[in-house]
Amino acid sequence: GTGILSSQPEENPHWWNANMVFIPYCSSDVWSGASSKSEKNEYAFMGALIIQEVIKELVGKGLSTAKVLLLAGSSAGGTGVLLNVDRVAEQLEEMGYQGIQVRGLADSGWFLDNKQYRRTDCIDTITCAPTEAIRRGIRYWNGIVPERCKLQFKEGEEWNCFFGYKIYPTLRCPVFVVQWLFDEAQLTVDNVHLTGQPVQEGQWLYIQNLGRELRNTLKDVTASFAPACLSHEIITHNHWTDIQVKGTSLPRALHCWDRSLHENNKNGKAPLKGCPIHLIDSCPWPHCNPSCPTIRDQFTGQEMNVIQFLMHMGFDVQKMAQQQGLEPSKLLGMLSSGN
């Protein structure tokens, strides 16, 4: 595989020699379902049960002697990590394997239940507002959410547990959250479509506000990596070593997190000096971080630099410079250097 699934030390410096198991996403239920096929239900949604069965099977293949189990996933798999990490830990404890430390790595699965830029009726998954999609889905899939999160909400309100900032405070296992501040999947469900034509001012303000809201929800997340980029998913991409927040790459931050958990288990110390694990960009626009993945024009396929991209988005350099009290050339210089 690539990224965190690679067995090459250059591409995966910290976990290249780990035992890896890849579970394909075939259940379409954000790994929450426990609904078998029946006369009434034509489809089975059994994501939560698939994970339990995989754990059972792996115990007989060497997992029983592991020190650490890292449950990782991207997009729906990232949300699936948040929904299942504690349940996996409990399952292993019940099976008598208390010595295995279970941790989570959630990539691009920290969605917001915010107001859409343009409200649309829920005709399909793309037009459905995030909360409504989950509300309907959870009934359809017979979705399971962790007990500790469920207790925070009234009956029928379990859908709240699919949103990272609501479930995170209830989790017992350590979880590292990786989230683009301007996630393309989030913008799609919020009906902000960045195709062809320049973005209107209302959309531009909405996008900036999304970054602010997301940053706010991550402020109490101990271990996080949130670049100000427009993208979706990262941990299985081979460029995952290139992205940096405040001069630290994601593999380095994960290594620091791993070490801090290891050290804390020994003697309950504070975070390790010079080893940052709470990394969130503070610059306010998509791609104001110069290490962001390359953007391509959706029509021509040509690569764009930050300034071309912002112009393409309808970004008014003159106006923005005036608001910031800067010369336009100074602002462009700051943008291209990522300040």
Say whether 75 is catalytic.
Answer: yes
- Helical residues (DSSP H) of the chain, grouped into ranges: 47-59, 76-94, 130-141, 147-150, 164-167, 184-189, 201-217, 250-267, 306-312, 317-324, 328-337
**Cα 324 to Cα 177: distance, rounded to the nearest angstrom:** 32
Residue 42 burial (10 A CB sphere; 0-12, 13-18, 19+): exposed
CB 84 within 8 A of CB 71: yes
220 assigned to active site:
no
Contact by Cβ (8 Å): 144, 47: no
Whether 325 contacts 300, CB under 8 Å: no
Say if residues 82 and 106 touch (Cβ distance below 8 Å).
yes
Instruction: Give the Å distances, CA to CA, from 276 to 166, 214, 242, 324.
Output: 24, 20, 17, 30
Max Cα distance, the chain (Å): 68
* Length of the chain in terms of residues written: 339
The closest alpha carbon to 181, from 224, 138, 145, belongs to 224
Q: Which of 193, 232, 255, 312 is catalytic?
A: 232
Choose the catalytic residue: 29, 183, 190, 258: 183
Is the alpha carbon torsion for 113, 117, 119, 122 positive or negative?
Answer: negative
Residue type present at position 324: Q
For residue 269, the 8-state DSSP code is P
| 239 given a catalytic annotation | no
Residue among 35, 75, 224, 260 flagged as catalytic: 75
Q: Active-site residue numbers?
A: 75, 183, 232
